[in-house]
Amino acid sequence: MNASHRVRSTSRREFLKLSGRMATSAALVAGVVPRMYAGEAGPIKLALVGCGGRGTGAVADAFTTTGGPVKLYAVADLFEDRVQASLKNLNEIHADKVDVPPERRFVGFDAYKQAIDCLSPGDVAILATHAAFRPMHFEYAVRRGVHIFAEKSFAADAPAARRWLKAAEQSEQKGLKVGVGFMWRHSQARQETIQRIHEGAIGDVHTLRIYRVHGPVQCPPLPEGTNELVFQLRYPNSFTWVSSGFYIDWHCHNIDIACWTKGAWPVSAQGMGGRCFEEAGSQFDHYTVEYTFADGTKLFTFSRHMHNCWETYADYAHGSKGSAVLMATLGEPRPKIYRGHDMTAENLIWGFAGRDPNPYVVEWQRLLDAIRQDKPHNEARRAGEADVVALMGRMATHSGQFITWDQAMNSQFQFVADIDRMNFDTPAPIHAGPDGLYVPPQPGITREH
């Protein structure tokens, strides 16, 4: 259910181009997860839910790990062509690890249940659809007692975020292993940089800046006679209700890194944005958000997706004694720490000099090692809270209001009231105008909180 998009930073899609249920049902119903691991029962089996670029890339990343066999065992998507494309790509590079006969290929809104039901405890459900469906799929996988890898983002609105967080708590109670697609958390370079910041290398952190500015999302006008729901699902990054919008879907893990650097979640947000080009669908094509932490520290986020504009993908931290490059795609991309605020060579006091293992693979290695060795590993709660921070910024920008953490967390606004019952005959949640175009948010009028 993922639309392709062009991003200059390394993506899962680019990496891919380069490179006994019935016996346990009673225990699952009782909320007990039987201790079954790959070493005892053969390969760890994967069920892929969402066969777009992110999901297919996640499977490829899992295949490159070490420590034991892994196989793709079942797949599910809303659309048959995406199932076929995913399997074709994976078979071209990892045919020996793909075991998905036609009877384990599922299509439609309930396909996720059928794919997850093919797994046994000890196996992994990969949840890689867009955010509209993530809490529902996560909830079901937790109920079935399987381990989970969930791609970002995790919820499109506050009720969905609460649903995710409730399932996260249940996954912790069951002892499930849950990995999420916040790959930068598994970057050795960022880990070492942030550890030094926490040890006082730049003094007290007072300002953070994160940027994701590159080419646009592409969304044509709605063709006459088209099933509007299918159209929106086919262009998910242009529709906030489907993907949570690109501010969240493409920016939430950078927000997570900034908050990790600070060691806290912000307490409020205010933002500004707009739409210059109609191809952005139902959302803005540029966002600027100012977050405030309890001690007054500021986090500034910049997200713009337009042609012929300056592009970068970078995160920075500033403290009372110095500054740090957490990541950058221009100039010298390796993380660095500087004395003072002039980030020039003569002020450099440390730079990451080693090889940074591919974090897309490392996050999978950690998850699978935790399963095989029965070690604690659950990133679900933190992922849900980072999603709330991102939601807070989008709410503030779309509505034009000052939004607090409590307002975001407790909001009753919901894009789709009954996502569980959606099918191809369901009316689309929003509708295009007579010209086939969608109205963007209107600050001061739009409510998302």
The Cα-based distances of 182 to 256, 322, 382, 427 in angstroms read 8, 26, 10, 33
| pLDDT for 175 | 98
Q: Name the strand (E) or helix (H) holding 299.
A: strand 298-305
Cβ distance 120 to 145 under 8 Å?
Answer: no
Q: Which residues pair with 298 in a beta bridge?
A: 207, 292
Contacts of residue 262, defined as CB under 8 A and 6 or more positions apart, other chains included, come to: 205, 208, 293, 297, 299
Cα separations in angstroms, 448 against 16, 240, 359, 396: 36, 11, 34, 8
pLDDT score recorded for residue 278: 86
3-state secondary structure of 101: coil
Domain 188-356+389-421: give its CATH architecture.
2-Layer Sandwich (3.30)
- What pLDDT does residue 3 have? 36
* Other CB atoms within 10 Å distance of the CB of residue 374: 12
Q: pTM score > 0.85 for this model?
A: yes
DSSP H or E segment with residue 350: strand 348-351
> Phi then psi for 12, rounded to 5 degrees?
-60, -35
Distance CA 128, CA 424 (A): 20
Return the pLDDT at 330: 63
* Structure letter (DSSP) for residue 331: S
Nearest to 236 by CA among 386, 430, 7, 395: 430
Q: Please determine, looking at this structure, whether the domain spanning 12-184+361-379 carries the CATH number 3.40.50.720.
A: yes
Per-residue pLDDT of the chain (449 residues; tens, 9 = 90+): 333 332 223 344 333 333 333 233 333 333 444 444 544 558 999 999 999 999 999 999 999 999 999 999 999 999 999 999 999 999 999 999 999 999 999 999 999 999 999 999 999 999 999 999 999 999 999 999 999 999 999 999 999 999 999 999 999 999 999 999 999 999 999 999 999 999 999 999 999 999 999 998 888 899 989 999 999 999 999 999 999 999 999 999 999 999 999 999 999 999 999 999 988 899 999 999 999 999 999 999 999 999 999 999 999 999 999 999 999 876 556 899 999 999 999 999 999 998 999 999 999 999 999 999 999 999 999 999 999 999 999 999 999 999 999 999 999 999 999 999 999 999 999 999 999 999 999 999 999 88
Give the side-chain half-sphere CA count within 13 A for 262: 28
Q: What residue ranges do the domains of the chain occupy? A: 12-184+361-379, 188-356+389-421
Helix 252-262 vs helix 380-399: angle between axes, to the nearest 10 degrees?
Answer: 110
